[in-house]
């Protein structure tokens, strides 16, 4: 079995969209810096309700327009797409605002806490005929295009057991420990959940245990997901301990392992099932390293928009909602309430 | 923080014991070949109740004496130590036979299914003043001596979360699927259980789920272990799927990861807790690779015996029994009965 070549879209081959930004926080800084460096996308406006924040961000990234409210930004005729990276509990409001103004949206992950809210956003977007995508950037990395080709080839055989973990001692990241700002299962766990979803689909049952603070914020969880296919997934998610961020899946005919961290540009290996396996590894040496990989999704977004698509083909509305449903179920089972 | 140097005992510095072998199966072949190649230990007798098997084994490994029953082997005055690698459900009988004949023993892991039986063996051994060791060979590898020095230094701070998994598609290994021949939690799971025990001690509680065949043989399990220290361990054990065999532990001040597979000579890394960590790695380049690492335990055994010790200092009787107790509890909770 061979590793296929990655599929990389030439950033110059897609329209250079004019983006507006809602919620210019830390992740927006990383996304904009990477996207300005590696793509043909243009950021032309930024809005923040925090005095001076939009100006500061605009100045740093050479963005011509600033707004003190989101209504004015989404109404701006020059804007093709809105990137929403506000507080997680505000995603719904801001997504609906942009959609109602007829704008296509890229919303930071997780898109919402409630599956129903994600469904409402996507229904509204389809109704308004705008593209709506959750910023699950991992799906657009070169290694993910290899993974999908392997999955589509059928050569791997039936999936068996997947393990994925994202454990990072983020006790100092205040946002994660406040209701509405994330929570560990949603903010970090969305990556293991998404990789399991990509490979195995939506689980038919979930059994989760975990550690939750008295205020309802979750610290750590261990989830076993079962699938109608017979496959299983074991997800370990922690905001209070650090472990290698790995994801692997055993199939009937081979084993796939993503590099470390599995959700940023790293590597992908195809291995035999022997105790001392033979393996072929593709290593990402594109030069777009670490969180600069956030830029790929912007190019894919522009491609989809130019094709008149209303959703990502590799991270569909249904898949996005399925992931929120899984995260919601895990938090429910462990007794957390991060929103 | 630095990685200490490994502690390796010169195989020529310990007495060249005369070993007898009970149960010359596949693991005995690997152990004897490795030990003859890399140590000063001598195998002088082998016993099997299967006609021709002892002769075949003796011929292959140039062993002078063969016996058709175990009683005669353990009674042989020339033998200093007995290596017991019979069917797992026979370990107890053979261990007691050797102890009662005044022989020191190295018993393949897991030593027994029942914690009480392991305790009985060790009590009898102490009474008879003979050395009794379970063949948990991983404890004697160079990387394990580095791990122990790190643990003893106190520099790592409090342990937090450990993950360890041994998943290998062993559906074709008939022995594992017959009562008394192992079972997945006991035969394979003993490695993740042992590494968790070495780093975190004995768990105060265990919660396990898994897949069990109608005949009671276990296929796969997912266990969460909690410790009085507040630490947690998540163990994934499968005989029906293959995944990288990894073990890592998050501590207050650093992360330790063992190489792949974690229980054979591989590597050990010490990492910072950053998202993109700094790390120092010691790689085993001793030339004693893979299952040849089985040989180390023979040298340590000879050292302990020469010092008049009745148990291993790095895999004590209490630790051995604790591991059996954990394996027993996991099988009980998932509804398996592999014995």
Predicted confidence (pLDDT) at residue B125 exceeds the cutoff of 90: yes
Q: Name the residue among A157, A250, A123, A22 with its Cα closest to residue B219.
A: A250
Q: What is the pLDDT of residue A143?
A: 98
Residues 6+ apart with CB under 8 A from B318: none
* pLDDT tens digits, B1-44: 789 999 999 999 999 999 999 999 999 999 999 999 999 999 99
Residue count of chain A, please give it: 339
Quote the distance between the C-alpha of residue B272 and its chain's center: 29
Question: Which tokens in the block code for residue A236?
Answer: 């370990």
Query: Under CATH, what is the fold of the domain B11-137?
Result: Rossmann fold (3.40.50)
Q: What is the pLDDT of residue A311?
A: 98
Distance between CA A215 and CA A195 in Å, rounded?
29
Which residues in chain A have their CB less than 8 angstroms from residue B271's CB?
Answer: 242
Q: Name the residue among B262, B203, B191 with its Cα closest to residue B228.
A: B203
Residues A248, A163 contacting (CB under 8 angstroms):
yes
What does DSSP assign to residue A118?
H
Residue B95 — very low, low, confident or very high, per pLDDT cuts 50/70/90?
A: very high
Q: What is the pLDDT of residue A294?
A: 98
Q: What is the pLDDT of residue B44?
A: 98
Using a CB–CB cut-off of 8 Å, the residues of A that contact B are 160-161, 163, 165, 167-169, 207, 209, 211, 220, 222, 224, 232, 234, 236, 238, 240-244, 246, 248-250, 255, 257, 261, 271, 273, 275-277, 290
Q: Do A240 and B160 touch (CB under 8 A)?
A: yes
Distance between CA B45 and CA A50 in Å, rounded?
82
* Residue A67 backbone dihedrals phi, psi, to 5 degrees: -135, 145
Q: Do B169 and A163 touch (CB under 8 A)?
A: no
Which residues in chain B have their CB less than 8 angstroms from residue A220's CB?
Answer: 161, 232
Q: Do A243 and B161 touch (CB under 8 A)?
A: yes
If you measure CA to CA, which chain B residue comes closest to A272?
A: B242
Using a CB–CB cut-off of 8 Å, the residues of B that contact A are 160-161, 163, 165, 167-169, 207, 209, 211, 220, 222, 224, 232, 234, 236, 238, 240-244, 246, 248-250, 255, 257, 261, 271, 273, 275-277, 290
Distance between CA A45 and CA B94 in Å, rounded?
79
Regions in chain A scoring below 70 on pLDDT? none
Q: What is the pLDDT of residue A181?
A: 87
* pLDDT tens digits, A31-74: 999 999 999 999 999 999 998 999 999 999 999 999 999 999 99
Query: Under CATH, what is the fold of the domain A139-289+311-334?
Result: Dihydrodipicolinate Reductase; domain 2 (3.30.360)
Residues A118, A233 contacting (CB under 8 angstroms):
no
Task: Considering chain B, tell me which residue range(s) the CATH 3.40.50.720 domain(s) occupy.
Answer: 11-137
Considering only CB atoms, A222 lies closest to which of B224, B248, B261, namely B224
Residues 6+ apart with CB under 8 A from B152: none
Q: Which CATH superfamily is domain B139-334 in?
A: Dihydrodipicolinate Reductase; domain 2 (3.30.360.10)
Distance between CA A162 and CA B115 in Å, rounded?
32
Q: Do B248 and A248 touch (CB under 8 A)?
A: no
Distance from CA of B242 to the nearest CA of A (A): 5
According to DSSP, the residues that pair with B218 across neighbouring strands are B212
Task: Considering chain B, tell me which residue range(s) the CATH 3.30.360.10 domain(s) occupy.
Answer: 139-334
Residue appearing with tokens 């998050």: B250
Interface size between A and B, measured as CB pairs under 8 A: 93
Q: Do A161 and B241 touch (CB under 8 A)?
A: yes
Find which of B206, B222, B289 to mutate to test the A interface (most A CBs within 10 Å of its CB).
B222
Considering only CB atoms, B167 lies closest to which of A165, A167, A250, namely A250
Share of chain B above pLDDT 70, in %: 100
Find which of A250, A251, A252, A262 to mutate to test the B interface (most B CBs within 10 Å of its CB).
A250
Q: Do A250 and B242 touch (CB under 8 A)?
A: yes
Task: Considering chain A, tell me which residue range(s) the CATH 3.30.360.10 domain(s) occupy.
Answer: 139-289+311-334
Find which of B168, B275, B281 to mutate to test the A interface (most A CBs within 10 Å of its CB).
B275
Encode A226-258: b = buried (16+ Cβ within 10 Å), e = exposed.
Answer: bbeeebbbbbbbbbbbbbbbbbbbbbeebbbbb
Interface pTM, i.e. ipTM? 0.95
Q: Do B243 and A207 touch (CB under 8 A)?
A: no
Distance from CA of A161 to the nearest CA of B (A): 6
If you measure CA to CA, which chain B residue comes closest to A269?
A: B244
Q: Do A161 and B255 touch (CB under 8 A)?
A: no
Q: Do B250 and A241 touch (CB under 8 A)?
A: yes
Distance between CA B273 and CA B109 in Å, rounded?
34
Considering only CB atoms, A209 lies closest to which of B207, B244, B273, namely B207
Considering only CB atoms, A275 lies closest to which of B168, B211, B246, namely B168
Share of chain B above pLDDT 90, in %: 99
Q: What is the pLDDT of residue B182?
A: 87
Considering only CB atoms, A169 lies closest to which of B169, B243, B250, namely B250
* pLDDT tens digits, A78-129: 999 999 999 999 999 999 999 999 999 999 999 999 999 999 999 999 999 9
């Amino acid at each position: 079995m061979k590793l296929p070549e990655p599929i990389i879209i030439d950033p110059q081959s897609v329209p250079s969209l004019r983006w507006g930004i809602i919620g210019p926080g830390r992740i927006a800084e990383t996304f904009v810096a990477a996207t300005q460096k590696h793509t043909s996308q243009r950021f032309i406006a930024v809005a923040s309700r925090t005095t001076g924040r939009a100006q500061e961000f605009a100045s740093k990234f050479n963005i011509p327009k600033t707004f003190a409210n989101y209504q004015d930004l989404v109404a701006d005729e020059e804007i093709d797409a809105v990137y929403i990276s506000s507080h997680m509990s505000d995603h719904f409001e801001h997504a609906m605002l942009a959609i109602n103004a007829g704008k296509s949206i890229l919303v930071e992950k997780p898109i919402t806490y409630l599956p129903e809210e994600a469904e409402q956003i996507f229904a509204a977007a389809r109704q308004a005929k705008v593209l709506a995508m959750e910023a699950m950037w991992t799906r657009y990395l070169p290694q993910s295009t290899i993974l999908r080709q392997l999955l589509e080839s059928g050569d791997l055989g039936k999936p068996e057991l997947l393990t994925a973990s994202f454990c990072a001692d983020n006790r100092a990241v205040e946002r994660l420990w406040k209701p509405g700002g994330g929570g560990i299962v949603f903010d970090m766990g969305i990556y293991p959940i998404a990789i399991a979803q990509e490979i195995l689909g939506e689980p038919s049952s979930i059994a989760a245990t975990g550690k939750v603070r008295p205020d309802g914020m979750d610290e750590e969880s261990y989830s076993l997901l079962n699938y109608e296919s017979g496959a299983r997934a074991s997800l370990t998610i922690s905001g209070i301990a650090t472990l290698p961020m790995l994801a692997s899946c055993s199939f009937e005919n081979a084993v796939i392992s993503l590099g470390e961290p599995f959700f940023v540009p790293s590597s992908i290996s195809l291995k035999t099932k022997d105790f001392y396996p033979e393996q072929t590894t593709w290593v990402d040496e594109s030069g777009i390293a670490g969180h600069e990989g956030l830029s790929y999704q912007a190019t894919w977004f522009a491609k989809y928009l130019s094709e008149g698509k209303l959703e990502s083909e590799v991270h569909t509305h249904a898949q996005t909602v399925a992931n929120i449903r899984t995260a919601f179920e895990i938090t429910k089972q462990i007794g957390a309430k991060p929103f």
